[in-house]
Amino acid sequence: MLTTGENRAARFGFIISKQVGTAVVRNSVRRRLKAVCAEALPRVPEGTDVVIRALPASATASYAELRADVDRCLLRLDPAASAVSA
């Protein structure tokens, strides 16, 4: 996570290598991560860039597991952020 101080919405980027699976699987993981990050966007400070690297286990992870992992990482980076209620 990098805070640039710019006056713009936070941005999320994804690194999803071929080790995660076929193109169909990688795109599915990317779509689920985009949805998780859309939920987390209000909790991330403006001007912040977040890069998420998907590991091979993300191919079989449920949406709830991906959401919990992203929430846990954001809380570690910014303890002031509050978790989204389920």
Domain extent listing, the chain: 2-77
- Predicted TM-score (pTM) of this structure: 0.80
Work out the pLDDT band at 1, boundaries 50, 70, 90. low
Q: Which residue has the higher pLDDT, 37 or 2?
A: 37
The answer to whether the Cα torsion of 31, 70, 67, 55 is positive or negative is positive
Condensed to tens digits (0 to 9), the pLDDT of residues 12-65 reads 999 999 999 999 999 999 999 999 999 988 888 888 888 999 999 999 999 999
The number of CA neighbours under 13 Å toward the Cβ of 6 is 9
The CATH code of domain 2-77 reads 3.30.230.10
Q: Which residue has the higher pLDDT, 39 or 79?
A: 39
How large is the C-alpha radius of gyration of the chain? Answer: 13
pLDDT score recorded for residue 20: 96
Beta carbons of 44 and 3 less than 8 angstroms apart: no
